[in-house]
Structure 1
Amino acid sequence: MAVPLRKRIKRSVRSALVRALLWILGLLPLGPALALGGLVGRAGYHLARGTRRLALRSLAVAFPEKPEAEREAIARAMFVHLGRTALELAAIRSYDARLETYVELSPPGLLQEVIARGRGMVFVTGHVGSWELLARRIARAGIPNAVIAKAGGDAGLNRVAERFRAAGGVTTLWRENPDTGRAIIRTFRQGKALGLLIDQDTKVQGVFVPFFGRLAYTPRAAADLAIRFGAPVVVGTIRRRGPRAGDGHLLECVEIPFAADPPDREAEAVRLTAACSAALETAIRRNPAEWVWMHERWKTRPEGENQADGPQAKAVPKSAELSRG
């Protein structure tokens, strides 16, 4: 269906304004950018009431043992974190030359050792910390990589995001592009890393695995691709490493073992997905303010679950096509 002219004009104007704003913000040094981002985040907590309610609802699910005041403090800190992260990315030119020291890798040689095996890498992460900065730092470490991303409704903003990643050595593979499947195969055959985010409830193939003590519908592509191509799996998360916002980040990686030729590929895919999700949960619990709590992570429910526990499962694909060799 063709997009109405009025909507196309609106999107074009919005894209132009965003590009102009990003150009202006890109002139800021890192310190002022972080300070401005903090102010924007604090204002957002008070103004974005719907988003704040969603975040507090998710925090109540994840941390029922915490008092309400503590959950509210996490939500406020999340808004500040998101504001700082956005402005930090906009000001990338002010510190890109020293990215290797601004974002520390831990352990320092793991990614190079994994990619040297020649089977590519499935790099799993989530919307934890500054995930865009994470991808850029991996590329700076000499790891050839691509990321799978969902295209938004505004093609102009999609191009902005794609150009930002490309400038940092990161290739974007849009999930909606029919050529992405072939690009994924090329990525592994060329021994590159493929980045996937698995911490959101989306309309993709998935399985239910535990997340903060409750089953959550989780994308399964990372596990399916790893088993199909025999590619090692690494979970990586990024977090701020100092008391001050400008102290930089720590990018922590851990390899998740799995059976390369399991007797039951379906069971192994579920187990591997659960292990990756558990690694992300550990990182989020350590720094809860650096995750996107406004996302309705437990929206999709398993079929047959008690109605009191939430709505029934949505009609989403759950086939294991990617796991077939």
Structure 2
Amino acid sequence: MTAPLGKRLRREIRVRGLLLGWPLLRVVPLGLGAALGWLAWYLVPRQRRLAREHLRIAFPEEDEAERDRIGRASFANLGRAAVETARAQRLDIRTTVDLDPPGEALLREAHAEGKGVVVATAHIGAWELFARRVAALGIPCGTVAKEAHDPRITALLERSREQGGVRVFWRGAPLSAREILRFLRDEGGIFGILIDQDTRVAGHFVPFFGRPAFTPRAAGDLAAHLGAPLLFACAHRVASGVHRMVVRRIEVARTGDRDRDSFLLTAAATKAIEEEVRKRPDEWVWMHPRWRTQAVDISGKK
């Protein structure tokens, strides 16, 4: 069914705006990106309301002023992250994202097991950059993503990631699942999956800030199916334009029941995400409807 003309025009304006604005983001200062994000806090009331609601859930002990400070800072972080992503090809990724020797050792040891490496991650800091840092190790690196509504945006995102050495597998594409398994099993690739958003994919309800949150299960499924190691990784901003990677191995007692193991791995990875968000709450996407799906709605999630 064709969308109404007005909706199609608005979508075309947004797409053209992004395509024209993307090259500009490569040259604007990080501070301007942060300022635009900060301004968005005041200009998008629905997202501001969601952020406030979620911050009350996560930090009931904080007063409203402190929660609003975190919310504004998280919007500013998105602005910085957009600029950093646009200029990523011009960055020296090894100095932009610091990966300490223990973190690199964890990645290399997991890779040496020969089963592929699944990395659960989250929208923390500049999440697009740390995949490039992993790719810089010389190990095949990939991720899964949903195609944008417009093929021009999909092409832009794919080009940006693959220029950084990150192979993109599009969710729902023909043979995508087989290609991902082959990438892990046959190429020994490191495969990153964002698991911190409530999206229309298969998932588990696991605790997140004390509430059941519908969480994508793909990372847990792959690790359980292949017997592969599951790591958690993210990159925190430590200075203007500088990030530090956090890498840890997700250890659970695997039962041999793939569904149960997937649940346990997903819950443990989500716990790791919460721990990192608590350290730097200003770097997470509080405007996302993280607790949107309730248990009674699970039949609608496909």
* TM range, smaller chain: over 0.9
Q: Is the contact between residue 220 and residue 265 of structure 2 (CA under 8 Å) also seen in structure 1?
A: yes
Residue 110 of structure 1 aligns with an amino acid whose one-letter code is L
Identity, % of aligned pairs? 43
Q: How many residues align?
A: 299
Offset at residue 84 of structure 1 (A): 1.0
Offset at residue 25 of structure 1 (A): 2.8
Aligned match of 1:166: 162
Secondary structure of residue in 2 paired with 1:207: strand
Question: Is 1:315 the equivalent of 2:300?
Answer: yes
Q: Is the contact between residue 215 and residue 298 of structure 1 (CA under 8 Å) also seen in structure 2?
A: yes
Aligned match of 2:45: 49
Which structure 2 segments of 5+ residues have no match? none
Aligned match of 2:287: 294
Aligned match of 2:69: 73
TM-score normalised by length of structure 1: 0.86
Aligned match of 2:59: 63
Structure 1 10/76 Cα, relative in aligned 2: closer, same or farther at 3 Å?
Answer: closer
TM-score normalised by length of structure 2: 0.92
Question: Is 1:195 the equivalent of 2:175?
Answer: no
Superposed CA deviations along residues 51-105 of structure 1, whole A, max 9, x for unmatched, are 11111111111111111111000001011111111112222244x2x21011011
Aligned match of 1:216: 213
Offset at residue 49 of structure 1 (A): 1.3
Aligned match of 2:272: 279
Secondary structure of residue in 1 paired with 2:132: helix
Question: Is 1:24 the equivalent of 2:24?
Answer: yes
Offset at residue 13 of structure 1 (A): 5.6
1:125 to 117, 121, 124: 121
Which structure 1 segments of 5+ residues have no match? 304-311, 318-325
Structure 1 4/142 Cα, relative in aligned 2: closer, same or farther at 3 Å?
Answer: farther
Q: Is the contact between residue 301 and residue 314 of structure 1 (CA under 8 Å) also seen in structure 2?
A: no
Q: Is the contact between residue 12 and residue 156 of structure 1 (CA under 8 Å) also seen in structure 2?
A: no
Offset at residue 256 of structure 1 (A): 1.0
Offset at residue 292 of structure 1 (A): 0.5
Residue 156 of structure 2 aligns with an amino acid whose one-letter code is V
Residue 278 of structure 1 aligns with an amino acid whose one-letter code is K
Secondary structure of residue in 1 paired with 2:99: strand
Superposed CA deviations along residues 186-236 of structure 1, whole A, max 9, x for unmatched, are 111211111111111112111111100111111111111111111111100
**Residues of 2 paired with 1:263 and 1:176: CA distance?**
27
**Residues of 1 paired with 2:23 and 2:285: CA distance?**
26
**Residues of 2 paired with 1:265 and 1:99: CA distance?**
36
Report the RMSD for the aligned CA atoms in angstroms.
2.0
